[in-house]
A and B are shown apart, each in its own frame.
Chain A
Amino acid sequence: MHSTQTVVVQVAVSLNSNDVTIFHRQGQEWAAGETLSEHDKLITSIDWAPNSNRIVTSSQDRNAYVWSLTPDPQTGTTIWKPTLVLLRINRAATFVRWSPNEDKFAVASGARAIAICSFDPEGDWWVSRLLKKPIRSTVLSLDWHPNNVLLAAGSADMKARVLSAYIKDVDKRPAPTVWGEKLPFNTICGEYTSPSGGWVHSVGFSPSGDVLAFTSHDSTISIVYPAHGPNAIHTIKLTHLPLVTLTWTREDEIIAAGHDCQPFVFRGGEAGWELAGTLDDNKHAGGGSTGVGGGRGFGAAGAGAGASPVGRLSSAAFTTFRNADTRGFASMASSPTSPGGSGGLPSAGGGGESEIFTLHQNTITEVRVYEGVPGDVRKVSTSGVDGKLVVWDVANVSPLGAAGLSGKLGGMHIR
């Protein structure tokens, strides 16, 4: 996962390990800087607070650390120094986010609880209060409301909830919102079930905080308008694989990504939402595949563009194998058949190149804001299981299943 600091462009990245590496932008390249090592187990989430310049990391070792820049007594340079946060959870921490005012952060965990941590100046440490009550399983993702008090949580018990994380000495009493008034700690302001039952992978408040979006493992994305009544939920059932991460770019636009390896754009409003397209133009050279037009065959919506989806997949593969057999090819330089060009077909056999047509070659696990302010985000960055970190321009939306404009900038591949 990654988290970006905006002033000097830096990014904190953890590559499935116990450490975090800070990269900074040098021209068109990224240069590796300091490594932050303190965790004993895999780091599950990182968040960088841009204004107070602190990084918080959470890990499977049931701990979280807050890192701040301090001068090193020996060398005089500034280094990142960790401060342990006592979360008091007995399971892994899965997700962490700073609050908008950066005076608190929330840590989701497998202990069926969310730890809200604030700084206690007397003890000079971070103390936590646990939100437990209605949560019945691991909390997978969090998002703070702009008022610094409300928190959305998506959980493995198929529910997305909005809870109050009001801490007495840190927060002033918040103004009433569409989610409620008078919100003592651990009030449940809303509870929404995923439509066909699936873990809620990702939740997000809109820039105004009046709308909640969540994606779940049943390949749906739901957008809730609490101001319009308890049933004002727009659900889009997708024809492709589940989305695991989302971010709002504007009040009427969401970028979400997941197992389909490309960022999707959703647009809409109170009247309804729809899938508007993808940020990926699906034209990347896939090894021995046919390269006929764009459009990844697998489930990429739209019956148009002649892309032959899953149905003909097997016959194309069989034909390829059969041709390889009769002509004695060792590797597939070109597949002569493939009716209709099933774009997503990984090249069969010996060639060893089985790239798919999207830029990311594996699930995208995180999409974060890269440039812009909440409400007017211009670029987002995505990182995924394939080790790539890609920055996308939000304006370049391609319709699904067709070739479109290229929208990628500054991709970074980390090994």
Chain B
Amino acid sequence: MDVNFRKIDIDQYDEDVLQEEELYEADPRDPAQVLNDAKAKVGAVRNALSKGDTVGAINLVLDGTPVGPNVEEAKNLNLQTLTSILNSTKASEIPAIVRSLSQDAQDTLMKYLYKGMALPGWGEVSGSVLLGWHEKLTEVAGTGCIVRAMTDRRTV
């Protein structure tokens, strides 16, 4: 008799266990295509920033962001693109930009802010930037936006 029965992962044999994927709708795009989209955005965003169109740049990044499993590289690339926009925006412009975003875009931006804050050592690197954006975004979108960033299983 197999004495390691205590170490069996019993949940793998349970047919009715609730899987993470059942709780949200997955991104319908293919992972490779998602990565290509993210790379294409980098160029487009750089263009927009050089023209001074911050709102356009942000919307480009936030629209169609990669969510869910299997797209880690695309997600990180997107985060870097977004961080470059956030860093390059003047503090006085932030409220106007945030107000012009759609509600969905505001929710996605909040998710990215928290993702940025989750990186170790973010305090020295981009502390004031992330916190500044967080403050302005909460003033406009409220605590509901923060709640949505936390409950949404479609993580960026």
Listed in ascending order, the chain A residues whose CB lies under 8 Å from chain B are: 136-137, 157-158, 193, 196-198, 217-220, 237-242, 298-299, 301, 303, 309-311
Chain B hits for A298, CB < 8 A: 143
A218 and B146 alpha carbons, distance in the complex (Å): 9
Nearest neighbor of B154 in chain A, beta-carbon distance: A197
Q: Is B22 in contact with A157, judged by CB distance below 8 angstroms? A: yes
**B72 contacts the other chain (Cβ, under 8 Å)?**
no
> Once bound together, how far apart are the Cα atoms of A97 and B23, in whole Å?
27
Of the residues B18, B141, B145, B151, contact of A197 by C-beta under 8 Å = B151
Q: Return the 8 tightest CB-CB contacts between A and B, nearest first.
A: A239-B142, A219-B144, A299-B142, A299-B143, A198-B151, A196-B152, A238-B144, A311-B139
Report the tally of A-B residue pairs with Cβ distances under 8 A.
Answer: 75
User: What chain A residues lie within 8 Å of B147 (beta carbons)?
Assistant: 198, 217-219, 241-242
Please report which residues of chain B, range 119-152, place their CB below 8 angstroms from some CB of chain A when the two chains form the complex: 135-136, 138-145, 147-148, 151-152
A299 to B143, CA, bound (A): 5
Chain A residue contacts of B107, Cβ below 8 A: 196, 237
User: A299, B22: Cβ atoms under 8 Å?
Assistant: no
**Contact yes or no, B18 A240, CB < 8 A:** no
B155 CB to closest chain A CB (Å) equals 10
Considering the complex, give the chain A residue whose CB is closest to the CB of B111: A196
> Would you call B22 and A197 a contact (CB within 8 A)?
no
Tell me if A238 and B154 are in contact (CB < 8 A). Answer: no
In the complex, are the beta carbons of A136 and B148 less than 8 A apart?
no
Q: Which of B17-41 contact A (CB under 8 A)?
A: 18, 22-25
Chain A, Cβ-Cβ closest to B142:
A239
Complex alpha-carbon distance, A151 and B9, angstroms: 37
Contact with A along B84-104 (1 / 0, CB 8 A): 000000000000000000010
B153 at the interface (CB under 8 A from A): yes
Tell me which residues across on chain A come within 8 A of B152, comparing CB atoms: 196-198, 218
* Residue ranges of B at the interface with A (Cβ–Cβ < 8 Å): 18, 22-25, 103, 107, 135-136, 138-145, 147-148, 151-154
Which B residues are in CB contact (< 8 Å) with A301? 142
A157 touches B23 (CB 8 A): yes
Contact, CB under 8 Å: A310 / B143: yes
Residues of B within 8 A of A303 (CB): 139-140
By a CB distance below 8 angstroms, the chain A residues around B141 are: 239
Q: CB-CB < 8 A to B18: which residues of A?
A: 136-137, 157
Pull 5 A–B residue pairs with CB atoms less than 8 Å apart, ordered by A.
A219-B147, A241-B144, A299-B144, A310-B138, A311-B135
Taking CB atoms, residues of chain A closer than 8 Å to B135 are: 310-311
Indicate if the CB atoms of B148 and A196 lie closer than 8 Å.
Answer: yes
Cα distance A196–B139 in the bound complex, in angstroms: 21
CB contacts (< 8 Å) of A217 on chain B: these are 147, 151
Q: A197-B154, A219-B147, A237-B148 are in contact. Are A158 and B142 (CB under 8 A)?
A: no
Complex contact A218–B148 (CB within 8 A):
yes
Question: Do the beta carbons of A238 and B142 come within 8 Å of each other?
Answer: yes
**Contact at A158–B23, with CB atoms within 8 Å?**
yes
Residues of chain A with a CB closer than 8 A to B153's CB = 197
Chain A residues lying within 8 Å of B148, measured Cβ to Cβ, are 196, 198, 218-220, 237
> Which residues in B have their C-beta under 8 angstroms from that of A193?
24-25
Q: How far is the CB of B133 from chain A (nearest CB, A)?
A: 11
Give every chain B residue within 8 A of A198 (Cβ-Cβ): 147-148, 151-152
Distance of A238 Cα from B147 Cα, bound (Å): 10
Q: For the complex, give the distance between the alpha carbons of A172 and B138 in Å.
A: 53
- Would you give the shortest CB distance from A135 to chain B, in whole angstroms? 10
- Give the complex CA separation of A249 and B57 in angstroms: 45
Question: Which chain B positions have C-beta within 8 A of A241?
Answer: 143-144, 147
User: In the docked arrangement, what's the CA distance between A137 and B152, Å?
Assistant: 17
* Alpha-carbon gap, A112 to B25, bound state (A): 21
Which of A136, A237, A240, A310 contacts B139 (CB under 8 A)? A310
Complex CA gap A245/B151 in Å reads: 18
